Structure 1
């Protein structure tokens, strides 16, 4: 049924919407959040009149065993306010709760009898469950088998499966799509589908998930999220929701082929390309992206940054090329933006998921970088450690070095063979097996591994190009602050001018 003439709006019919995705709307019939199939009035000035499909299609009359003498009539709160139904004692005879602004009831005007629609014995059908769910007809204290929360009220029961759930939890959609994962997630409350012995972490809020109750799950990737996190409008993939019911058998087969090709890390993309340009060599370059870690689109830039900005990924100074947000002070090195959202690490058996900064942290001075975290167990690596190369070379050594995570022996004495300073045996280091040659990561990779030295850059404060160099032995004086320049220097060879990195960006 595409249209429905409903008593809530005597001017316009309500229009059917298969997948309601607008945030913040509650059903005018039961007062719960609206997900999935719904009816609404889209005419301006009507206040939408949004209803769940099941609430909009409620019968106008009902025979109930608690009041066999007369049929009960469906009433809205507006009809209470208009005194069409006796205004005294409008408490529900089952749960004893008082009607609020959005809550339809069945009532008998002759006997002043009232039952909320959620307290009737009329069954409802949940998208995620095969059997009808029936209110038990009395108010009790119970723990919902979907959300795991304890409360008092009239639960809906599945007799076949022996579980009790809130009426609002029966409204949850069977499938959702979140922007942090490539595959759709399905709601499960089966203890056989997800291993309850593991400590699971929701990648959307980075908190533990209780697998004894309902959750959204991707069986392909063993990916779990809290119900509320998956349904939060900030995490929902709206484009997928608009198209999900248009999938033909052909498109489903195509998706299966694509998933097979993508393999284990099918959800590895951390960004969506919005705009591209073709480079001189014919390569497509992403000039505008939507990155999972930021609410606004990011644009590619090759310009010099003038305000000492720091990359929000690796927490190092920004150098071109980088992506930036034109609406706020958010920057990502191009290499950081293009990192996969999932990656393997030799220290851990499960794939690690890239998570943004925790939203509940208040950072005043320092930026807190993202982390790679295991969503199956409590294992995490910060961004800089997780992205260290596993093998590398050193300009003054003929053999490759491998990243090591434990001490090379039990001697109790550990030194770096490059700087000859002591090493902490608990810290990672690079090691040449052929020569038994250990070294600090900073000695192998350099103190500034993400900086590009030797490039010439043009600034408005000087007529000649300036060369960016790591350090100089003669310690020339800075042109601005007159202090000796030791490292991170912009230098003009023609004028013998030198600027500290930070001094130049403050000019």
Structure 2
């Protein structure tokens, strides 16, 4: 017999079904101490029966004696004025005074003064104003909320660490739908030795309180007890059929990402589709910093003979992943595409793709352009700067223009190397997960995030990320003359690696991924010009890569010994200069 829906007009606009489970409520937002309630599947909205039974449309409350408080859903102000916690959905408010209280604090208002002699030897006072503090209790975390404070010691405590109403303590035993055979008992000590010390539903390592069934070796952490994953999911963006949670240990391969799992997937009983819980929320359409176009998620990549555009490992086309509609062979593993260092977290489904003008200049004729950074004058093309004054430098990269083609303004000293003039107004870069904007008016010197060079030239910037135009132009695959046989890639890492060019150790490096190669270049060496002209010599100096050499070599500028076989040098027949910019730019 089907259960009938319950109408709760003060609480929710749809009929709600009785729901006998321990679950975090959208009513008080701090469940975990009560079972039973009502659920709207259409809105995924759940309220506790106890909260519903105690809700009145208007109440008088000691925290706000000047006006009555009215029950309201989804307030504009989303933090409780008593405890500073986020309001999930329902609250009581006074619109006249802009005063909001969540349902938990209505029933259990935090006392103005508490005595916790087992934790601290003085009484604590509730400070009802925004305060940034480090909690002195066992959590040790930093907060910005309403603390309890010792007025004698000036120590501050997070409310949840020092006060909870006796009625709100966790139950010693709960019934949970994901384990209907036996009740789960509250444990306050370490997980049993025979367990794997992980939550059966979410795989997180169990820390602190948890519930356990010793008969079945079934453990749940508090987060999954309070807010368990739904037993059924119907989302056409994920799969065409309803998915069912399988709360048990079982090895499987996820159809969405192609990776192994060992517990509690969602399965489709109609077609055998199986998916990790966290893969349910994979975005449909995104930008990643490794590709110029949007990539979209697909359940089966189809027959492609490609490697992942992020990790550069082979892609199994029988599983799901991300692909580019414009570039049929470009594919990315699901987990690689959604890494924090690759994706900016923005879902683009339903967001129209804007056609942006990122071209840096307008062509006037075969030898003339108008660059967006210098609109007042046209720039003329020159093959090289050998006949120009030696101190002429590119306004973008600030390097001399002597041996490279460039554009120059005949009315002023503005000069751009040809390759610098072609730098787009906006650019994706492997070092940042959001698009960088080319800034052409830099007032002060800045340090390039990639290579640490100081510059006052053009800069690619987004938030804290600042790249000079040379490092900003680095993209994958990166081909360098010093390692011509294999391309280089940026592989994020924690440990420093030794650069094959300068022998310095750096974290941000470009790496050869071919087995057994191990070639590494820092961004500074990767962006060195191939040929330079020194002011004290009539001949150009070429960048050389680990040449065979006998005897000792000395830099003719700084007079320090160089090691041509173990790094980059700048040489001509009669002269050798080390790659330190202080020498070759002198």
Normalised by the length of structure 2, the TM-score is 0.39
When you count helix as a share of all residues, which structure comes out higher?
A: 1
Of structures 1 and 2, the one with the larger relative CO (CA 8 A, separation 6+) is 1
